Structure 1
Amino acid sequence: MSPTKVIIVGCGIAGPVLALLLKQKGYEPVIYERGKRDAGGGLSLMLQLNGLRVLSKIPGLVEKLSGMPIDKSTMFSIVPSDERLLVELEFPEQVRQHYGVGLMGVQRSKFLALLVDTVIEHGIELHFERQVVDVETTDEYARVKLNTGETDTASFVVGCDGLHSNVRTALFGMQQATFTGLTQTGGITEGVFSNEKPTMFNFYGLNMHCIAYAISKTQYSWAITQRESETKETWRAMDEAAQHSVRNGPFSQLPSGVGDLVLKSAQITKYGLYDRPKLESWHRGRVILIGDAAHATSPHLGQGANQAFEDADYLVQLLVKHRPNASQESTTAEFSAWFKEFEEARIERTAMLVRGARETGETRVVDGLEEARKRNDAVCAQWAEGGSALRRMQDLYNSK
């Protein structure tokens, strides 16, 4: 019997990892991606313990990562009249010592290129500029319709097509993503903090928060979060005039190195932050959603990509559990039962993290000097208890 064919919609973060895990278990994944290869977009990712655990199941992948392990977390207030060091933590190094892997900052475009190269090396069929516009499920197969008018069928379909998922729309109808009320302006900068131990910085200001972390020995990725009117989520660089305005605007005057990050950034982008309301089910028949297509989140816990990897890993674990032979025939009712089991393990966990990310963004960005000082004091108190950082990471990673 031939291997079970699986159509994966989307070649962003979740799709390639799922395809590689399925291939290892004897499945025949086929990926359709609406965009071009090397289309770019986005700045960076913080790969965390739970995500790196999944990536380590793909032989040789983690060793090829072009990124920077993070050793330290430092938090500063840059509020006028309240500038101070709030917290300095060694928890990233503690996590790595405790578990063998920790946190790693990576440039998004390089990471995506590595995933695509690895998919191709493993002989997985991959089609760029092929947008899935509709999907249907029957008693015997699942079928996708492409923007070219072509169709393709498989045993089952996994929608990994992100925040603006066509698979989600096909299953559950059009649902607008929810703007969180926050935007980010960010870039990648050479030479600022380059002599520091690789660090994740959090800078707390008035009506703003800045995160910056190392992605190489000389580069830091940064993003400034503000509360303002909606800006669409495009992940593309701003035009030159807009970038010039940011480099020479108020951000460039911020203290503690934040201004230098902005002023010296080669490219600057701006985007709105969105999440999705909780779905009670992620599947219909032989079609299931994972990653941002199922539970898009704002970035304030750094768990968007890492939860997508958890999804992919657990889905494959369930398939192996119920279908030890990847070539065996399975009914639609069986797939539906397995996907329901998957949802029971994943929906509440991811919904909790989506809520937590939104709440974290809300508490980071406050206006008014008095409110900003209260927030700063709360940050100090939050991390004051000995060992609390490692315990918080264990809760986040669902680890003991």
Structure 2
Amino acid sequence: MPTKVIVVGCGIAGPVLALLLKQKSYEPVIYERGKRSPEAGLSLMLQLNGLRVLSLIPGLVEQLPGMAVDQAMHYSIVQSDERVLGQSGFPGALRREYGHDMFGVQRPAFLALLSDTALAQGIPIHFECQVVGVEQEDGFARVLLNNGETDTASLVVGCDGLHSNVRTSLFGKENASFTGLTQTGGITASAFPDHKPTIFNFYGDGLHVIAYPISEKSYSWALTQREPETKETWRAMDAAAQDAVRNGPFSHLPFGVDCLMENAERITKFGLYDRPELKSWHKGRVVLIGDAAHPTSPHLGQGANQAFEDVYHLIRLLLEHHPAPNSEPSAAELSTVFTEFEAERMERTATLVRGARQAGEMRVVQGAENARARNDAVCEMWADEGAALQKARDMLQTEWVGWGA
């Protein structure tokens, strides 16, 4: 019998993990707390490290619901310092060098594609079936479900995101700390019609706006600012609150930001929170990956892409230390896999989590003098095209060894 693996979560990492486990003759089964057709969230940027993992699933990359980016543009929208800060063709250069794009995708459509692909491959997905706890005995792990039922497998992988019940079961309840930053985001049709597909960064006084295409006609955008604490949810604001964004002070910002705000559809708002950094991601036969293990703020666009790197290295190590997926892995084998997985991934993800936090702090500095100094630093950063490209390479590269290298 194939080795059974319970995958908790059918968001970003879960179905990709399940598809690649199935490809290697494991027997994955997914439990997902939400519905089959999620509506929460707006978009994400798939980068070359994440796309490299997705390309291991035949035909998936060709179906991605989104748009490739050709260039990056940076503007100051500080009232006393409006100017172009930089322009770079590094997304196109990365495509030519590595064969993968920077690719903006609409999040709900992407999640639907992943779950539909998993179902088409015969992977069971139990929607609206929440894992509320995990227990372990010799030789297996058991998940406890919100309907009172249980299920067992040789190992359990927690891919259940920021509010991970698997993480809580392993390491206890933790307090998330508000960073002082909120994000307001939306999708706008017919934005920037005179530009080729571009990722835009707009730097203001106490705020930052990022925008990138997710189709030939639509841009997704997010505005980060310092505000009082806001709940951590990705659902749309009520109609009155959305209208307040469309017609408020941000609707007068230059360089096309005004059009993003005025014409936006389905505006969301949420707070950005930090979680404590874990010293281990596993106990016994249970391991965490993605945001369940190392949640990150969105300022480097690496959350989903790091989850995909986790998937790659976890499966690579399973194949290395348990090459017979038709037999049950021993506790010692799994301990070796999970320990080496943490050694491979913890430092890299921690560095990117810290880098994302620092990027957020830099982007939303307050006060005209501080904002102008930040703008000068951005100009200097993007003045050297070669250095900018190397910085992107350094962030996006990981060790590709063994399976799939």
Unaligned regions of 5+ residues in structure 1, if any?
none
Give the Cα separation in 2 of the matches to 1:155 and 1:26: 14
TM-score, scaled to structure 1: 0.98
Summarize deviations over 1:217-240 as a string: whole Å, max 9, x none: 110000000011111111000000
Residue aligned with 1:216, SS: coil
For residue 195 of structure 1, report the CA deviation from its aligned partner.
3.4
Are 1:47 and 1:105, in contact at CA under 8 Å, matched by a contact in 2?
yes
Give the Cα separation in 2 of the matches to 1:303 and 1:87: 22
For residue 323 of structure 1, report the CA deviation from its aligned partner.
1.4
Number of the residue aligned with 2:327: 328
Number of the residue aligned with 2:271: 272
Number of the residue aligned with 1:155: 154
The amino acid that maps onto 1:189 is T
Give the Cα separation in 2 of the matches to 1:207 and 1:28: 49
Number of the residue aligned with 1:260: 259
Number of the residue aligned with 2:208: 209
Residue aligned with 1:225, SS: strand
Give the Cα separation in 2 of the matches to 1:110 and 1:330: 36
Summarize deviations over 1:342-382 as a string: whole Å, max 9, x none: 00000111011000000000000011110000000000112
Are 1:285 and 1:333, in contact at CA under 8 Å, matched by a contact in 2?
no
Are 1:138 and 1:332, in contact at CA under 8 Å, matched by a contact in 2?
no
Say whether residues 1:182 and 2:202 are aligned partners. no
Aligned ranges 1:95-174 → 2 under 5 Å: 95-174=94-173
Give the Cα separation in 2 of the matches to 1:226 and 1:58: 38
For residue 246 of structure 1, report the CA deviation from its aligned partner.
1.1
Give the Cα separation in 2 of the matches to 1:114 and 1:312: 18
Number of the residue aligned with 1:73: 72
User: Structure 1 vs Structure 2: percent identity of aligned residues?
Assistant: 66
Residue aligned with 1:267, SS: strand
Give the Cα separation in 1 of the matches to 2:213 and 2:287: 35
Number of the residue aligned with 1:31: 30
Residue aligned with 1:255, SS: coil
Residue aligned with 2:264, SS: coil
Residue aligned with 1:118, SS: helix
Number of the residue aligned with 1:61: 60
Summarize deviations over 1:102-134 as a string: whole Å, max 9, x none: 200000011001001100110001000100000
Aligned ranges 1:293-304 → 2 under 5 Å: 293-304=292-303
For residue 386 of structure 1, report the CA deviation from its aligned partner.
3.9
Q: CA RMSD in A?
A: 1.0
For residue 399 of structure 1, report the CA deviation from its aligned partner.
5.3
Residue aligned with 2:192, SS: coil
Moved over 3 A (4+): none
The amino acid that maps onto 1:90 is G
Give the Cα separation in 2 of the matches to 1:337 and 1:181: 39
For residue 38 of structure 1, report the CA deviation from its aligned partner.
0.8
Residue aligned with 2:156, SS: strand
Number of the residue aligned with 1:317: 316
Summarize deviations over 1:256-315 as a string: whole Å, max 9, x none: 111110110121110111232211100000000000000000000000000000001110
The amino acid that maps onto 1:139 is D
Are 2:38 and 2:112, in contact at CA under 8 Å, matched by a contact in 1?
no
Unaligned regions of 5+ residues in structure 2, if any?
400-405
For residue 398 of structure 1, report the CA deviation from its aligned partner.
2.1
Are 2:38 and 2:111, in contact at CA under 8 Å, matched by a contact in 1?
no
Are 1:162 and 1:292, in contact at CA under 8 Å, matched by a contact in 2?
yes
For residue 338 of structure 1, report the CA deviation from its aligned partner.
1.1
